[in-house]
């Protein structure tokens, strides 16, 4: 059951009424989550969870303690406050603790879809049956997971701040494998609107990838022109987003550190076709309306036509530098062009088409260098056509480097990444040079 803001405010105010600490903050998350899992062409489990979690922070000066509970009765709430206060008394002082914010104004984020709240177990089974039937018809083996949820979040503190948000969400991931394990296809989608997830399209895509990726042959590692599909670009954007930290730049630990001192804000670092921003009110990838400690989120430009415009600034670091705080964006959006994925392939004389990336690990934060593997379909492109599948490859690459050599983009779309999270809108990219270091035979 989704509680309205007035009832959420009552629960949070009741919790704060028990506080004896100098400051306190209480948050509530409650939601209904339903899921269906299938494997080997048959349903294997379904789940249902109706959960409520309350998180309490209490501070005596700069001694901070936390406690959480899943109960909302008066006795449980008062006990949770006492436990948080006890933890604060035992904690060492936190030199970076910041006083709680007062009342704030928040943008409306369009993350609630009433129709999605009626999506039933029968509806989830119908989507799974499309995949299972598609696998059986093509002699493939399917495995997938569908989850839909609805929930609300509220936050209140002893300085008068109150924030509230409700949202719906649906996500579907499907893998198809050939009987010998030598071909693998993957497709996925997510949205706050369950109607935006097309089970038939996802099935078709996963089946095609599995069949096309059969019997791959090895390719010599090296630098190749690549076409990264939107999911792979989304993982690169996740890496990029994690590097947008002003403190790390000021302290010389980041790609965005200036030589000598300071940051590269205002410098043109990437191609003039690169624009990246966050906007919690975006119609396709709506995000949270607040960030750190309840700081309001607005549209924020990170990179504009290749020029670095902003970096994330925590409240503590803003105080140290006498600048305004800049919270993390709750989504990440990369502008694209009016091309299709097929256009990017057709414009490639020789290169590789990469479906997705995974097992991504950091190597060097000062260059943003990461390493990882390709997954579920890597294909050789010759004279504008996909000619054959190739064996998976290990890559060593940096978003900072590839954003300097993007030659073409597709229209952006909401993506599901293999690692990382958060709403992401990303195009496919044709990149002039992408570095592969070794063959990684895997099934």
Q: What mean pLDDT do residues 366-380 have? A: 97
Structure tokens at 117: 């709240």
- Tens digit of pLDDT for each residue in 398-409? 999 999 999 999
- Tens digit of pLDDT for each residue in 308-350? 999 999 999 999 999 999 999 999 999 999 999 999 999 999 9
Kindly report the length of the chain.
443
Phi and psi at 3, nearest 5°, equal -80, 140
Q: Which residues contact 320 (CB under 8 A, 6 or more apart)?
A: none
**Cβ proximity of 181 and 443 under 8 Å:** yes
Rounded to whole angstroms, how far apart are CA atoms 158 and 10?
14
Q: What mean pLDDT do residues 120-139 have? A: 98
| Terminal-residue alpha carbon distance, the chain | 44
Q: What mean pLDDT do residues 7-14 have? A: 98
Q: What mean pLDDT do residues 422-439 have? A: 97
**Cβ proximity of 77 and 14 under 8 Å:** yes
Task: Parse the chain into domains and list their residue ranges.
Answer: 5-211, 216-443
Q: What mean pLDDT do residues 19-32 have? A: 98
Place of tokens 């598609």: 134
**149, HSE (Cβ side, Cα atoms, 13 Å):** 19
Does residue 427 come out as left (phi exceeding 0), alpha (psi in the -120 to 50 range) or beta? beta
Read off the pLDDT band of 89 (50, 70, 90): very high
Q: What is the pLDDT of residue 421?
A: 78
Rounded to whole angstroms, how far apart are CA atoms 293 and 414?
28
Q: How far is CA 441 from CA 170, 219, 234, 432, in A?
A: 33, 11, 24, 25
Q: Which helix (H) or strand (E) holds 186?
A: strand 184-191
**Cβ proximity of 378 and 390 under 8 Å:** yes
pLDDT at residue 216 tops 80: yes
Q: What is the pLDDT of residue 441?
A: 86
Read off the pLDDT band of 57 (50, 70, 90): very high
Q: What is the pLDDT of residue 420?
A: 77
Rounded to whole angstroms, how far apart are CA atoms 72 and 362?
41
Rounded to whole angstroms, how far apart are CA atoms 371 and 408?
23
Q: What is the pLDDT of residue 443?
A: 58
* 4 CB-contact burial (10 Å; exposed 0-12 / middle 13-18 / buried 19+): exposed
Q: Residues 5-211: name the CATH superfamily.
A: PmbA/TldD superfamily (3.30.2290.10)
- Tens digit of pLDDT for each residue in 231-289? 999 999 999 999 999 999 999 999 999 987 889 999 999 999 999 999 999 999 999 99
Rounded to whole angstroms, how far apart are CA atoms 269 and 264?
8
Task: Determine how β-strand 424-426 pairs with β-strand 332-334.
Answer: parallel
**Order of strands across the sheet with 300-304?**
307-308, 300-304, 276-278, 332-334, 424-426, 413-414
Read off the pLDDT band of 422 (50, 70, 90): confident
DSSP secondary structure code for residue 193 in this structure? S
Q: What is the pLDDT of residue 293?
A: 96
Structure tokens at 202: 């996802």
């Amino acid at each position: 059951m989704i509680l309205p803001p007035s009832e959420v405010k009552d629960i949070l105010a009741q919790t704060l009424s028990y506080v004896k600490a100098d400051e306190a903050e209480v948050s509530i998350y409650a939601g209904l989550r339903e899921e269906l899992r299938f494997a080997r062409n048959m349903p294997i489990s379904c789940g249902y969870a109706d959960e409520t979690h309350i998180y309490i922070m209490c501070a005596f000066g700069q001694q901070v303690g936390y406690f959480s509970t899943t109960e909302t009765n008066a006795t449980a709430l008062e006990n949770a406050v006492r436990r948080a206060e006890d933890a604060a008394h035992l904690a060492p002082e936190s030199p970076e603790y910041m006083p709680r914010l007062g009342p704030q104004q928040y943008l409306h984020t369009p993350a609630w879809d009433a129709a999605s709240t009626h999506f039933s177990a029968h509806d989830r089974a119908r989507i799974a049956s499309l995949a299972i039937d598609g696998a059986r018809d093509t002699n493939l083996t399917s495995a997938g997971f569908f989850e839909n949820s609805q929930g609300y979040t509220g936050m209140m503190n002893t300085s008068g701040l109150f924030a509230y948000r409700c949202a719906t969400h649906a996500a579907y991931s499907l893998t198809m494998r050939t009987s010998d394990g030598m071909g693998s296809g993957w497709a996925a989608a997510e949205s706050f609107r369950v109607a935006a997830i097309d089970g038939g399209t996802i099935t078709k895509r996963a089946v095609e990838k599995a069949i096309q990726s059969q019997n791959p042959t090895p390719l010599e590692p090296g630098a190749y022109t690549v076409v990264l599909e939107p999911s792979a670009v989304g993982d690169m954007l996740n890496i990029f987003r994690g590097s947008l930290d002003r403190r790390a730049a000021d302290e010389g630990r980041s790609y965005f550190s200036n030589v000598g001192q300071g940051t590269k804000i205002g410098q043109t670092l990437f191609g003039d076709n690169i624009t990246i921003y966050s906007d919690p009110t975006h119609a396709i990838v709506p995000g949270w309306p607040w960030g750190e400690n309840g700081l309001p989120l607005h549209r924020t430009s990170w990179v504009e036509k290749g020029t670095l415009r902003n970096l994330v600034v925590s409240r503590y670091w803003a105080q140290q530098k006498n600048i305004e705080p800049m919270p993390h964006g709750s989504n990440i959006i990369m502008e694209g062009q009016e091309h299709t994925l097929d256009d990017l392939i057709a414009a490639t004389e020789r290169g590789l088409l990469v479906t997705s990336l995974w097992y991504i690990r950091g190597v060097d934060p000062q260059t943003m260098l990461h390493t990882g593997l390709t997954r579920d379909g890597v294909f050789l492109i010759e004279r504008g056509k996909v000619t054959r599948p190739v064996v998976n490859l290990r890559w060593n690459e940096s978003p900072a480097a590839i954003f300097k050599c993007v030659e073409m983009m597709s229209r952006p779309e909401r993506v599901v990444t293999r690692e990382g999270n958060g709403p992401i809108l990303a195009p496919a990219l044709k990149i002039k040079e992408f570095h592969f270091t070794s063959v990684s035979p895997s099934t």
